Amino acid sequence: MRKVFVLIIAMALCLGLAPGMGAQEQSDVPVTPAVDSTLIGKSIFNLLPNVTVHQSQSILSSMNRQIASNSSRKISGYRVRIFNDNKQNSRGASEAAMGRFKGMYPGIAAYRTYSNPFFKVTVGDFRTKSEAMRLLQQVKGSFPSAFIVKETINYPPVGSIF
């Protein structure tokens, strides 16, 4: 019985039904909720110990359809720039850097762009700077001039490793 009560309180807090959340305290400015990146790709119901949740399959399939239909949307986030140069051979060097990165990290998206006069190779799609820092620490040995940039990113895939 206690577990059910805790679950109801947790859902009330998530929905903003907790005491003290009157209309006078709400603002017209939309608030973007923070995303806990440690839960990406995990079912929170499987993480709750000693709690059984009976959920309709239609809810799960509806959620999966929503995720799939929004996968092409763009959001503000972070990437790791592994190449940035404007020398005469930069085009070939950027292609080589991108190929080398894809060989080392096949599951991470890589983007090659040209902004006159620079060729750039940027990798990853991260919602938070701390997620980008993890990849930066891994690639620093192979790409010593790598750094983090704030960009418009694609939604990171559900269950991504970074």
Q: pLDDT digit string (tens) for 103-123?
A: 999 889 999 999 999 999 999
CATH superfamily of 74-154: Sporulation related repeat (3.30.70.1070)
CA separation for the pair 82, 91 (Å, rounded): 14
Residue 66, H or E segment: helix 57-69
Q: DSSP code of 16? A: T
Task: Say how many C-beta atoms besides its own lie within 10 A of residue 76's C-beta.
Answer: 10
pLDDT score, position 26: 45
The H-assigned helical ranges of the chain are 2-15, 44-47, 57-69, 90-104, 129-139
pTM over 0.85: no
Parse the chain into domains and list their residue ranges. Answer: 2-26+33-69, 74-154
| Spans of the chain, pLDDT less than 50 | 17-27, 29-32
